[in-house]
Structure 1
Amino acid sequence: MSDRRILVLGASGLIGRHVTDDLRARGFHTIGIARRFASSQKASALDLELPIMALDAAALARMLREREVDVVVNCLGVLQDGPGSDTGAVHRDFVARLLAGIRDSGRAVRLVHISIPGVVKDDHTAFSVTKREAERLIVAAGIPHAILRPGFVVAPAAYGGSAMLRALAALSVDLPKKEAATPFQPIAVEDIAATIAWLAERDIPDPAANAVTWDLMQPQPITLGRAIEQLRFSFGAADMPRLTPPAFMIDLGAKLGDLVSRLGWMPPLRSTAIAELRRGVTGDPQAWMTATGIVPRTLAEAVGQRSATIQDKWFARLFLVKALVIASLVLFWVVSGFIALFVSYDAAAGILSARDFPPSLVAPITVLASLMDMSIGVLIAFRRTAAFGLIAGIVASLGYMIGAAILTPDLWIEPLGALVKTGPAIVLMLVALLILDNR
């Protein structure tokens, strides 16, 4: 059991969660902090939900002092600006407050900061620019620090870009030649965790662990296409027929991803993700390997240490289909309500009129039902209200089926089977509800 006390910021993310669990397994007293943990992620009473981005320098200093923190691991990051996401606020402004908090805490604290690989001249997105600004702030602050620049992270869990690559592999979709040839140096998340543990064990004055900037990645350069090939092999999909979409489809998908992100969703295919993918993931890990003695696993070793399970395959196959499911349900509810209200109002109202409904109720019921359908579609479209919208859609569909069985039973044998088709729609909404979680 080590007496070092470690604070991990962003402990619910892909890297942060693994690092937190790994440090605890090694005997470090590790406090994990995130804005929100999934219920399955709360492994310890030391996992704390805090509005970390709202803390000022004084609050951060007080937290470090009261909890006697020796090492801070900053895994916070967002890919792109959007509702609830501000790259400048997360990458630059928060780091400035954190540095002030470390300085004012009165403790000797080492900051381990997770950044991105690459060189300044290739930084063109808000994501990369603000990440590099944070690096400069850390170096200028003069505090004990280590800046880690991991390559593409391969982990047992999958989120964002890593989930998208698994989906491409499982569905046997090839990238266009230009994107497939992008240089690509991955890193196993276990090697990142081992590096942070190595840094945590070192005394603050140790020059080998102080004021260092390391690229963390396998030294053997490969391409993005080769990485997908390796993942495809692990899924047993190496011999499947392959589809290569035209390059413009990637840009179109990124634009659609940007649009969807304004509704609160976090699609992996967005303009920043594509821009960063096209610039490649490269670096020189030799300084890191020499200092720590860590020999990073290759992608083949990281992926090949266990074959893909049925859970892995289901997730990968459903990952991209999830967006199609949500979009189809949104269109289903909005368009059906719109048609009943504006295109085929007389026909919709006629169904009730033909069943001897009181004339005074026909119009209000038709209008309210149409508005309810469109409202359900809008609720599903927004990530924050999607679960409520799906539940409302299931309840409304069951209500339609029961109401029709009582009031208009002949609709069940209508030639086009509109009511019969409601059953599969309910099942699809149930599927969407079950796969709604992101992590």
Structure 2
Amino acid sequence: MTPLPTIAILGASGLIGEALARHLQGEGFPVLALARRFTPAQRQALGRPIERPLIEASAADLARLLADEGAAIVVNCIGVLQDSGKGTAQAVHRDFAARLVEATRGRLLVQISIPGREADDHTPFSTTKREAERVIAESAEAFAILRPGFVWAPAAFGGSALVRALAMLPVALPAREAASPFAATDMCDIARTVAFLAQQWAGGRRDWRVTWDVMERRPGTVESVVEAVRRHLGGPPARLRLPGFLMAAGARAGDLAARLGWSPPIRTTALKEMRRGVSGDPSAWIAATGFEPASLDDALSHTPATVQERWFARLYLLKALVFTMLVLFWLVSGLVALTVSFEAASAILIGLGLPVGLAKGATVLTSLLDIQIGTMIATRRTARLGLWSAIALSLLYVLGAILFDPELWLDPLGAMVKTLPALVLTLVALALLTER
């Protein structure tokens, strides 16, 4: 019996990459999972994943890594929606593809790309994805470019997380976005396509030079997809239609969050891609593989509407609100105490017996600490430290009030009492912090 080839999956910590690695492992394929970083759960599930900064690696380094691990097939799942601290679209898509082509000589390169017509490519995301396709088609010895539609997978991230969240809200998308074509792809169809290619490769076929749209036969619209997920999860009926200007404002807010290191599902690029829609012709893929593509309903049936699915969908958009409120709480608290309420804040400490100079100095220090904590929570890289710092400082304020001025708890506006709900909200934020 011909041994199955080792399949290297680049970007195996992402939505498609992780699901693909798990599926292929279950089919008995030797899988080499590679990504910049894996979660503890992914390290446990993926056997022996390798953490490397792949985008920065040279073609020689990539080739050496693949050779050392005996990889015969390479699946590239790496991508970014728009320029961020994780890299530019040009570097991640086009430039990396050029080095990957050199590194995969003698191997089959499978590129996960995007569907649609080239004439409709207007964002850096879509144009660089298409440039990567051209580089591969012109230079790779053996390749398969797979163009999935809206991917439904067991995990939720980005667009699939947003659709889940929208399905649990009593609102519909603006008419322009709702009417865009939106073909879905069951993650299992991508996985079995890669398995098919690997089996053919193991059987000796080396002439792969194909580009396939991997998606359902009859695409719906963005609205029909959200409605299907709404029915699946048991969400409320859509009674209101979201105004277009609110969707655009949310996208701009998402751009700001992305600059701070977060991965919001809605950004200006995502909005443009949604308006472009997701469509394609899966006939060439069906003819070559003999597969019958799963419909969206088929894909949904693989994800039971469990309580954890519904909790995630309800909490997903609330996460942004929770973090925004905490950031504002700490920034405004610090700024108010440092400016208009400086004398009143200092007077509390003076009333406890502190010298005037020391009381004012302590007021400045605690105000700056509040502002620093708000800034840390706003930035993804320091958010966890900021949340723990918020808990520590809040407990310090509570303890100080209990020991030195218990009458603060009798304030009719409940200044100290309100600290306790803020503490609980901070714990909620810590629970929601993980993105994968």
Task: Please classify the TM superposition score into its range, dividing by the shorter chain length.
Answer: over 0.9
2:175 to 174, 177, 181: 177
- SS state of the match for residue 6, structure 1? strand
- 8 Å CA contact 1:2–1:27 kept in 2: the answer is no
2:88 corresponds to: 86
The alignment status of 1:338 with 2:340, answered yes or no, reads no
- SS state of the match for residue 110, structure 2? strand
2:196 corresponds to: 198
Structure 1 residues 278-314: Cα deviation after superposition (integer angstroms, max 9, x where no partner): 0000000011011111111111121134541110111
1:16 corresponds to: 17
Paired residue total: 433
1:32 corresponds to: 33
2:353 corresponds to: 356
User: For residues 282 and 69 of structure 1, what CA distance do their matches in structure 2 show?
Assistant: 32
User: When the two structures are superposed, what TM-score results if normalisation uses the length of structure 1?
Assistant: 0.96
User: What's the CA shift for 1:68?
Assistant: 2.1
User: For residues 137 and 237 of structure 1, what CA distance do their matches in structure 2 show?
Assistant: 44
User: What's the CA shift for 1:206?
Assistant: 3.0
Q: Residue type matched to 2:157 in 1?
A: Y
Q: Residue type matched to 2:227 in 1?
A: E
The alignment status of 1:319 with 2:316, answered yes or no, reads yes
User: For residues 290 and 40 of structure 1, what CA distance do their matches in structure 2 show?
Assistant: 38
1:166 corresponds to: 164
2:67 to 48, 65, 68: 65
- SS state of the match for residue 417, structure 2? coil
User: What's the CA shift for 1:69?
Assistant: 1.6
- SS state of the match for residue 343, structure 1? coil
User: For residues 45 and 241 of structure 1, what CA distance do their matches in structure 2 show?
Assistant: 43
2:247 corresponds to: 250
User: For residues 201 and 384 of structure 2, what CA distance do their matches in structure 1 show?
Assistant: 49
User: For residues 433 and 271 of structure 1, what CA distance do their matches in structure 2 show?
Assistant: 27
Structure 2: 5+ residue stretches without partners: none
User: What's the CA shift for 1:146?
Assistant: 0.4
- 8 Å CA contact 1:2–1:28 kept in 2: the answer is no
Question: Relative to structure 2, which stretch is displaced further, 410-419 or 168-177?
Answer: 168-177
The alignment status of 1:276 with 2:273, answered yes or no, reads yes
User: When the two structures are superposed, what TM-score results if normalisation uses the length of structure 2?
Assistant: 0.97
User: For residues 30 and 392 of structure 2, what CA distance do their matches in structure 1 show?
Assistant: 47
Q: Residue type matched to 1:17 in 2?
A: E
Q: Residue type matched to 1:325 in 2?
A: V
User: For residues 357 and 16 of structure 2, what CA distance do their matches in structure 1 show?
Assistant: 61
User: What's the CA shift for 1:84?
Assistant: 2.4
Question: Relative to structure 2, which stretch is displaced further, 36-45 or 376-385?
Answer: 36-45
The alignment status of 1:433 with 2:430, answered yes or no, reads yes
Q: How does 1:20-419 map to 2 (within 5 A)?
A: 20-42=21-43, 43-103=45-105, 108-203=106-201, 206=205, 210-238=208-236, 240=237, 242-419=239-416
User: For residues 421 and 41 of structure 1, what CA distance do their matches in structure 2 show?
Assistant: 39
Give the 3 Å change call, closer, same or farther, for CA 17–2 of structure 1 in structure 2. farther
Structure 1 residues 184-230: Cα deviation after superposition (integer angstroms, max 9, x where no partner): 100000110000000011137637x7101000100112111011010
User: For residues 2 and 26 of structure 1, what CA distance do their matches in structure 2 show?
Assistant: 13
- 8 Å CA contact 1:75–1:113 kept in 2: the answer is yes
- 8 Å CA contact 1:349–1:366 kept in 2: the answer is yes
Q: Residue type matched to 2:388 in 1?
A: I
- SS state of the match for residue 419, structure 1? coil
User: What's the CA shift for 1:24?
Assistant: 1.1
Q: Residue type matched to 1:206 in 2?
A: R
User: What's the CA shift for 1:85?
Assistant: 2.5
Seq. identity, %? 51
Q: Residue type matched to 2:225 in 1?
A: A
User: For residues 333 and 107 of structure 2, what CA distance do their matches in structure 1 show?
Assistant: 59
- SS state of the match for residue 33, structure 1? strand
User: For residues 53 and 203 of structure 1, what CA distance do their matches in structure 2 show?
Assistant: 26
User: What's the CA shift for 1:414?
Assistant: 0.9
User: For residues 379 and 296 of structure 2, what CA distance do their matches in structure 1 show?
Assistant: 37
- SS state of the match for residue 241, structure 2? coil
Q: Residue type matched to 1:138 in 2?
A: I
- SS state of the match for residue 423, structure 2? helix
